[in-house]
Amino acid sequence: GAERFGVVHIQGDVWGESFAQDVRREAQRLVGASVRVEAVAAAARTSDATARAEAVSDAVGRLRSSGLRHFLAALSYEDYVSVAVEAQRSGIMGEPGYFWAFA
Protein backbone atom coordinates (compact mmCIF):
# COMPACT_ATOMS: atom_id res chain seq x y z
CA GLY A 1 0.00 0.00 0.00
CA ALA A 2 0.89 3.64 -0.14
CA GLU A 3 2.88 4.96 2.80
CA ARG A 4 2.97 8.52 1.46
CA PHE A 5 0.13 10.42 -0.11
CA GLY A 6 -1.03 13.95 -0.66
CA VAL A 7 -4.28 15.62 0.26
CA VAL A 8 -5.21 18.48 -2.04
CA HIS A 9 -7.59 21.27 -0.99
CA ILE A 10 -8.18 24.99 -1.41
CA GLN A 11 -6.58 27.30 1.13
CA GLY A 12 -9.20 28.79 3.43
CA ASP A 13 -11.85 26.21 2.52
CA VAL A 14 -13.01 24.90 5.90
CA TRP A 15 -14.31 21.62 4.48
CA GLY A 16 -11.10 20.91 2.56
CA GLU A 17 -8.83 21.85 5.46
CA SER A 18 -10.87 19.69 7.87
CA PHE A 19 -10.72 16.82 5.38
CA ALA A 20 -6.91 17.09 5.21
CA GLN A 21 -6.60 17.14 9.01
CA ASP A 22 -8.97 14.19 9.43
CA VAL A 23 -7.17 12.11 6.80
CA ARG A 24 -3.80 12.76 8.47
CA ARG A 25 -5.12 11.92 11.94
CA GLU A 26 -6.96 8.77 10.89
CA ALA A 27 -4.14 7.48 8.68
CA GLN A 28 -1.70 7.80 11.57
CA ARG A 29 -4.17 6.25 14.00
CA LEU A 30 -4.86 3.28 11.73
CA VAL A 31 -1.42 2.72 10.22
CA GLY A 32 0.93 4.47 12.62
CA ALA A 33 4.00 6.59 12.11
CA SER A 34 4.92 4.79 8.88
CA VAL A 35 2.30 6.72 6.91
CA ARG A 36 3.08 10.24 5.74
CA VAL A 37 0.29 12.58 4.69
CA GLU A 38 1.22 15.83 2.98
CA ALA A 39 -1.49 18.47 2.64
CA VAL A 40 -1.11 20.77 -0.35
CA ALA A 41 -3.38 23.81 -0.49
CA ALA A 42 -3.96 25.75 -3.66
CA ALA A 43 -4.27 29.48 -3.04
CA ALA A 44 -7.64 30.79 -1.99
CA ARG A 45 -10.34 31.23 -4.60
CA THR A 46 -10.25 34.41 -6.61
CA SER A 47 -12.31 35.84 -9.43
CA ASP A 48 -9.08 36.73 -11.29
CA ALA A 49 -8.74 33.89 -13.82
CA THR A 50 -5.00 34.43 -14.31
CA ALA A 51 -4.29 34.41 -10.57
CA ARG A 52 -6.45 31.30 -10.15
CA ALA A 53 -4.64 29.44 -12.95
CA GLU A 54 -1.27 30.37 -11.43
CA ALA A 55 -2.37 29.20 -7.97
CA VAL A 56 -3.51 25.83 -9.34
CA SER A 57 -0.34 25.48 -11.41
CA ASP A 58 1.81 26.22 -8.34
CA ALA A 59 -0.06 23.67 -6.21
CA VAL A 60 0.17 20.95 -8.88
CA GLY A 61 3.86 21.80 -9.32
CA ARG A 62 4.38 21.20 -5.58
CA LEU A 63 2.61 17.85 -5.90
CA ARG A 64 4.76 16.85 -8.85
CA SER A 65 8.02 17.82 -7.15
CA SER A 66 7.00 16.04 -3.93
CA GLY A 67 7.43 12.63 -5.54
CA LEU A 68 4.00 11.57 -4.30
CA ARG A 69 1.97 9.25 -6.50
CA HIS A 70 -1.27 8.87 -4.50
CA PHE A 71 -3.62 11.81 -3.96
CA LEU A 72 -6.91 12.53 -2.23
CA ALA A 73 -8.57 15.77 -3.26
CA ALA A 74 -11.34 17.62 -1.42
CA LEU A 75 -12.48 20.11 -4.04
CA SER A 76 -15.57 21.74 -5.45
CA TYR A 77 -16.45 20.83 -9.04
CA GLU A 78 -14.94 24.06 -10.37
CA ASP A 79 -11.69 23.45 -8.48
CA TYR A 80 -11.69 19.78 -9.50
CA VAL A 81 -11.75 20.72 -13.17
CA SER A 82 -8.87 23.19 -12.80
CA VAL A 83 -6.73 20.78 -10.77
CA ALA A 84 -7.49 17.77 -12.98
CA VAL A 85 -6.62 19.62 -16.19
CA GLU A 86 -3.35 20.92 -14.72
CA ALA A 87 -2.44 17.55 -13.19
CA GLN A 88 -2.96 15.84 -16.55
CA ARG A 89 -0.92 18.51 -18.30
CA SER A 90 1.85 18.04 -15.72
CA GLY A 91 1.90 14.26 -16.15
CA ILE A 92 0.76 13.30 -12.65
CA MET A 93 -2.76 12.22 -13.60
CA GLY A 94 -3.78 9.71 -16.22
CA GLU A 95 -0.32 8.15 -16.26
CA PRO A 96 0.65 4.70 -14.94
CA GLY A 97 1.55 4.67 -11.27
CA TYR A 98 -0.54 7.68 -10.25
CA PHE A 99 -3.77 7.39 -8.28
CA TRP A 100 -6.31 10.14 -7.60
CA ALA A 101 -9.54 10.05 -5.56
CA PHE A 102 -11.83 13.08 -5.34
CA ALA A 103 -14.34 14.02 -2.66
Residue 1: per-residue pLDDT: 61
Across the range 52-80, mean pLDDT stands at 89
pLDDT at residue 30 greater than cutoff 90? no
Domains of the chain as residue ranges with CATH: 4-102 (3.40.50.2300)
Long-range contact set of residues 41-50: C-beta below 8 Å, sequence gap at least 24: 41/8, 41/9, 41/10, 41/11, 41/16, 41/17, 42/8, 42/9, 42/10, 42/11, 42/79, 42/83, 43/10, 43/11, 44/10, 44/11, 44/12, 44/13, 45/10, 45/12, 45/13, 45/79
pLDDT at residue 28 greater than cutoff 90? no
Model confidence pTM above 0.75? yes
